[in-house]
Amino acid sequence: MPEKRPPFVVGNWKMHMTVSETRALLDSIVKAVPDLGTARIVVIPPFTALGEAARLLANSSVALGAQNLFWEDKGAFTGEISGPLLRDIGCRYVVVGHSERRQFFGETDITVNKRVHAALRSALKPIVCVGEILEERDAGRTMARVRTQFDGALEGISPEDIRKIVLAYEPVWAIGTGRTATPGQAEDVHAVLREKIAEKYGKEAAACAIILYGGSVKPANSFSLFREKNIDGFLVGGASLEAESFIPIMKEAMKAYKEVA
Ligand code: PEP
């Protein structure tokens, strides 16, 4: 297994992008794909744009994901969305445990874990987010926090299923704030997460695992972040809403990959 994995870049559009805006952005992303080599790209539109995005990406290597799912597969759960419904519309990935869901919608490690299992049941790859708040970082509790979140989110996950899971380290203080973790700060946490995978699932699973960084990623910082050994790509929020910033992020990551791989 080579030391460095090709860039894996995810654009999380959050509660933005109409269907016509989706068309325009995906058109630019799809046109940029040939310049991005072996980079893997996932876009995560709002639920309302998934159908149109699936249609536009049908013949493309860009994969589609959703921002959340409920842990039951079907039933009387007004307002929720299930794994089978996401799979049916063409999703291959789903974000689970984003800090905005933990902060504003009461997600806990227990409900994150239920969602991870639900995603896997529907053959969706979960992108599982962990990360500390500023007070935890200032108190020296970052590693303890992400270890706890890792253990909680991955409770009951088999060695076979760990290979289908993407982890995202997203320090809460860096999300949407313009304040990015330094490459060193991010790398330290990524290394701990990879160690956790090795402890629980073995060295080979750890070597294959995809661990993303998220938190104010921009074209100007993606090169230096991606150069770090354990940073495999990015979960990008704000800067994924425009082709002018999202595509250069991927190009910078690819440039760094070519240098260090
Ligand atoms: C995110 O949405 O996960 C995120 C990291 O947002 P931003 O890039 O805007 O900080």
Domain annotation for the chain: domains and CATH numbers: 8-260 (3.20.20.70)
Task: Give the three-state DSSP class for 176.
Answer: coil
Is the CB of 175 inside a 6 Å radius of any atom of ligand 1? yes
What local confidence, expressed as pLDDT, does residue 3 receive?
A: 74
Tell me the CA–centroid distance for residue 117 and ligand 1, in Å. Answer: 24
**Predicted confidence (pLDDT) at residue 36 exceeds the cutoff of 60:** yes
Tell me the CA–centroid distance for residue 54 and ligand 1, in Å. Answer: 22
Query: Shortest CA distance to 166 belongs to which of 257, 233, 240, 246?
Result: 233
The arithmetic mean of pLDDT across residues 42-60, rounded, is 97
Any idea of the CA torsion for 67, 71, 74, 78, to the nearest 10 degrees?
Answer: -70
What local confidence, expressed as pLDDT, does residue 117 receive?
A: 98
Q: What percent of the chain has pLDDT over 90?
A: 95
Longest dimension (CA), the chain: 52
User: For all residues of the chain together, what is the average pLDDT?
Assistant: 96
What local confidence, expressed as pLDDT, does residue 178 receive?
A: 87
Instruction: Report H helices in the chain.
Output: 19-32, 50-56, 83-89, 99-104, 109-121, 134-138, 142-153, 159-162, 183-201, 203-208, 219-226, 243-260
Is the CB of 216 inside a 6 Å radius of any atom of ligand 1? yes
The arithmetic mean of pLDDT across residues 150-173, rounded, is 97
Task: Indicate the pTM of the whole model.
Answer: 0.97
Catalytic residue among 100, 132, 136, 170: 170
Task: Give the three-state DSSP class for 217.
Answer: coil
**Predicted confidence (pLDDT) at residue 2 exceeds the cutoff of 60:** no
